[in-house]
Structure 1
Amino acid sequence: MLRLGRTSLRLSLQFAFLYSVLSAVIFVGAYWFTNYEVRDWLHDQMSSDIIILAEIYDKNGIQELVKSVDVMADVNFENARIFQLLGPDGTILAGNVYAMEGAVSEGYIPADRVDIEGEHSDEVSGYWIAQSNIGPYTLLQGTGNHVIAEVLEALGITLVAGFILIMAFGTFAGVWVGRLTERRIEAISGTMEQVAAGQLAARIPTDATSIDDLSRVSISINDTLEQLENLMESQIQISSDIAHDLRTPLQRLRQRLEKMSGQQVINPQDAVIALEQTEDIISTFNALLRIAQIEAGDRRERFQRTDLRSLLTNVYEAFEPSAEDGGQKLDLKVSDQPVVVLGDPDLLMQLISNLAENALRHTPKGTTITLATSYMDECPVLSVSDTGTGIAPQDREKVFRRFYRGEKSRTTGGNGLGLSLCKAIAELHHANLEVSDNQPGLRIEARFPPPAK
């Protein structure tokens, strides 16, 4: 049901009213212009007659002029035209007008003030008069207003009928458009009410072929709801992961503290282990806090043009001794030209370090780990690849989840947040982080957008 208080309907009717007023102004203008043009045409016709009669007088004299005026007065239909030729002394020489009430030389005169030969036509209520001199003689001629009246009557009927149709069509179109708009706004409002009630999966119905403002707003809202749903699911997953993964270290810490509380003399070794467990828990929370800060975009003000080659070189120099001690080989492959990205150098260093450390920690002896950077399709790319055992394809996207640890990595150190931090840093820099098969081993690649020139 339509309600006048609805903004969509009210605006539609307002535009329909505005269009109707505009049409009325145009119609009034057309009516006035037509009236002016018809009167001008009648005046031109009388001026043309004057020119013809003046030529007759110049060529043939007054007698022919008198005959011509009488002929013109006799042949006009139902006295629609009137003529009166006056001599220099005011004597009527020719025409069908006996007398006029009042002195009229130009303009309009009612028919009842004109005494003519015969009867006035029922359609003529007055005459448009024009007076001209032909030599010493004066010619007064007039044209009945029935021509103008008939034209204006037909035009007026047409314009009024057109205006009524426009008003009706405009009102109908306004109500129809208002109803369509109202339905779409109700769909948006209904979806938002569902979301407010906790149904984050609710979406606004959209038409792929529609490109109007409401469609763009609906698509934007749906995109926002999609992100909100993903964020909430992520938060739920994070909360669950935190509760699950911190439960074990907290239980161990509690057991250690309970053991210490029952000792008369605290064993220093127990205190050291308890402190290490506490440090591990604090380190986990610090990593989570760092990820949250990065995801909030708090570090974008530190962005600058950074050459990835220097960062990879620093990481290579820092980790190469550790690789050698672990029986692994660390290689460095960098481009001859600068590989520049717009980003935070410290976070990018953290990204590369985490990837390198992850590869060193989860690959066996004899593995070759390669740090590389170059351009690919004009995009800066850095990669860390190894020749280890790799991971199953179905687990590749899971490695970026918080606290995720594969079966092969459960016996190694770490809190399962290193690659999550890498993912957050990559997204902050609008980089795409991908895991692929290195045949053999694993390859993790970060592709950055081209830096602005």
Structure 2
Amino acid sequence: MHRVSSILAGAGFRSAVLSLLLFLAVFFIAGVVIVSQTSSEAESEIRALVSNEFELFREAADTGDMDQLRQLVDSSAAAAGPRFFVVALYRPDGTLLAGDDIPRPEKLGWSTISSGINATTPSEQYLALTEDIGGNRVTFGRTLFFVEVGSAALWRALMLASIVVGVGALAIGYFTSHGVSAKLDRMADTLERVARGDSRARLPVGRSNDQVDRVSRQMNAHLDRLSDLLGTMRNTVISIAHDLKSPLNRAYILLQEAEETPDEIERAKLLEEAQLEIERLNGIFDTVLRISRIEASDDQSGFAAFSARELVSETLQTFEPVVEEAKQQLVEAPTPGDATIIGDRRMVVQLLVNLITNASRYSPPGARIELSAGLEDSHPVLVVADNGPGIPADRRTEVFEPFRRLNPERDEKGSGLGLALVQAIATRHRATVRLEDNQPGLKVIVRFPIAKAAGV
């Protein structure tokens, strides 16, 4: 019972009912117009027929022999078998001279009269013409029986059509609502499974490609995205726990050793090392929070235009000494022209710094790191290229995941957050990050939107 009430309350069935009511209203108005038009045309034909037959009485009166007119009226009224007309001849004072005993019309011309004199005629309504002929009054009319029968038959046909259409519309509405209700029930069951923690549950999608199917596809896409985010979050939590455990353990051990050692110099050294581990831990927290803040906001109100080449030159001057300490070379590769970037300048500087730091960290002494700014298909780009070991093509997408390190056994210096922050900043600027083989080494290309598309 609940299932039926749910179907009847569904939008499909209610739409069918409303459409049916509108159809019946229009159908009724159309029926009235059709019946009226048909009746009017039938009455016009009767008028023409009565007018033609009335000529017989005029011709009889034109002879001047009133007896001939009277005999014509009596013979017409006395015709054997069923007939569908009435005729009467009256004196000027209203006395019936000949024909049918019917009420005398009060006025000349066309009128509708009633009479029950003819038992073989199903109708008592006649469309009659009354005229004064030879000093007397003649009334001749034909029955409206066929008009009434035709109108009744037409109304019955319209009613039958309305019933058939109504039943069909309600049936279509019921089954349509039943199908939609079944889909919505399956959607509710799936979402309930998702709410219980089943991240693999997906909404069923039919072949009809209706609104419910399109919504299901969109929701499945969101569920896929949510599942990916949950997976990333789980991996991130595990990675955070793992990466925080090491500096915490080292800091704890160093503090214990500092507490136990009697040597003041050794104690100071151990405390300094413990402080460095805590600072490293604090840096990890700061980076995670910064990535979260960047990903959580899409505000671009503070974006402004700046020169990509000037940004590269300033960054190179700042970090060239740092790279030289690692016995590496940081240079600016010449490119024609300049490019304008629309964005948060400090964020883009951080992006470039992280790429330089990453290239320096994983390149051997003597490596060459090149910075450049230019245009690629009218898009401004920043490029950082090195001749280090590079990254295998099948693992390049992994490096953007938080806390992802390709060689965690050998990489003790990095937290695995540098390129994740680069990706977050690029996404905030609607830019793309592409990794290519530099033969040898790695080339990172950050492609920003065209300045005009960004509102300049």
Q: What band does the TM-score fall into relative to the shorter chain?
A: 0.7 to 0.9
Name the SS for the 1:5 alignment partner: helix
Change (3 A) 1:100 1:54: closer
In the other structure, the counterpart of 2:86 is 82
Q: Is the 8 A contact 1:4 1:10 kept in 2?
A: no
Distance between the aligned counterparts of 2:441 and 2:234, measured in 1? 32
Q: Which range moved further: 35-44 or 241-250?
A: 35-44
Distance between the aligned counterparts of 2:258 and 2:219, measured in 1? 56
Change (3 A) 1:97 1:313: farther
Distance between the aligned counterparts of 2:441 and 2:80, measured in 1? 110
Q: Which amino acid is 1:294 matched to?
A: I
Could you tell me how far 1:5 is from its partner in structure 2?
A: 3.5
Q: Which amino acid is 2:113 matched to?
A: I
In the other structure, the counterpart of 1:269 is 269
Could you tell me how far 1:158 is from its partner in structure 2?
A: 1.4
Distance between the aligned counterparts of 1:231 and 1:11, measured in 2? 35
Could you tell me how far 1:359 is from its partner in structure 2?
A: 1.2
Could you tell me how far 1:441 is from its partner in structure 2?
A: 1.2
Instruction: Say whether residues 1:406 and 2:406 are aligned partners.
Output: yes
Change (3 A) 1:408 1:247: closer
Q: Is the 8 A contact 2:8 2:14 kept in 1?
A: no
Distance between the aligned counterparts of 1:409 and 1:316, measured in 2? 31
Change (3 A) 1:441 1:93: farther
In the other structure, the counterpart of 2:248 is 250
Q: Which range moved further: 99-108 or 49-58?
A: 49-58
Q: Which range moved further: 282-291 or 29-38?
A: 29-38
Q: Is the 8 A contact 2:123 2:143 kept in 1?
A: yes
Instruction: Say whether residues 1:452 and 2:451 are aligned partners.
Output: no
Q: CA RMSD in A?
A: 3.6
Per-residue deviation, residues 358-412 of structure 1 (Å, max 9, x unmatched) = 1122222443322233333343332212222212223212211222233399357
Per-residue deviation, residues 129-166 of structure 1 (Å, max 9, x unmatched) = 44467897755343312112221222122122222212
Q: Is the 8 A contact 1:85 1:137 kept in 2?
A: yes
In the other structure, the counterpart of 1:233 is 231
Q: Is the 8 A contact 1:109 1:126 kept in 2?
A: yes
In the other structure, the counterpart of 1:123 is 122
Could you tell me how far 1:286 is from its partner in structure 2?
A: 0.7
Name the SS for the 1:434 alignment partner: strand
Distance between the aligned counterparts of 1:370 and 1:44, measured in 2? 100
Q: How does 1:377-388 map to 2 (within 5 A)?
A: 377-388=377-388
Q: Is the 8 A contact 1:126 1:145 kept in 2?
A: yes
Per-residue deviation, residues 15-35 of structure 1 (Å, max 9, x unmatched) = 333333334333433443234
In the other structure, the counterpart of 2:329 is 328
Q: Which amino acid is 1:187 matched to?
A: R
Distance between the aligned counterparts of 1:309 and 1:40, measured in 2? 89
In the other structure, the counterpart of 1:218 is 216
In the other structure, the counterpart of 1:339 is 340
Distance between the aligned counterparts of 1:279 and 1:383, measured in 2? 31
Name the SS for the 2:415 alignment partner: coil
Could you tell me how far 1:352 is from its partner in structure 2?
A: 1.3
TM-score w.r.t. structure 1 length?
Answer: 0.84
Name the SS for the 1:302 alignment partner: coil
Could you tell me how far 1:221 is from its partner in structure 2?
A: 1.4
In the other structure, the counterpart of 1:100 is 103
Could you tell me how far 1:187 is from its partner in structure 2?
A: 1.5
Q: Is the 8 A contact 1:389 1:442 kept in 2?
A: yes
Q: Which amino acid is 2:246 matched to?
A: T
Instruction: Say whether residues 1:155 and 2:159 are aligned partners.
Output: no
Distance between the aligned counterparts of 2:368 and 2:259, measured in 1? 48
Distance between the aligned counterparts of 1:222 and 1:424, measured in 2? 25
Change (3 A) 1:406 1:80: same
Q: Which runs of 5+ in 1 are unaligned?
A: none
TM-score w.r.t. structure 2 length?
Answer: 0.84
Change (3 A) 1:185 1:335: farther
Q: Is the 8 A contact 1:362 1:409 kept in 2?
A: no
In the other structure, the counterpart of 2:175 is 176
Change (3 A) 1:53 1:243: same
Distance between the aligned counterparts of 1:183 and 1:86, measured in 2? 78
Change (3 A) 1:227 1:132: farther
Could you tell me how far 1:424 is from its partner in structure 2?
A: 1.2
In the other structure, the counterpart of 1:313 is 313
Distance between the aligned counterparts of 1:364 and 1:76, measured in 2? 129
Q: Which range moved further: 249-258 or 138-147?
A: 138-147
Q: Is the 8 A contact 2:7 2:178 kept in 1?
A: no
Q: Which amino acid is 1:29 matched to?
A: I
Q: Which runs of 5+ in 2 are unaligned?
A: none
Distance between the aligned counterparts of 2:132 and 2:12, measured in 1? 61
Distance between the aligned counterparts of 2:397 and 2:94, measured in 1? 114
Q: Which amino acid is 1:109 matched to?
A: I
In the other structure, the counterpart of 1:200 is 199
Q: Which range moved further: 55-64 or 166-175?
A: 55-64
Could you tell me how far 1:353 is from its partner in structure 2?
A: 1.4
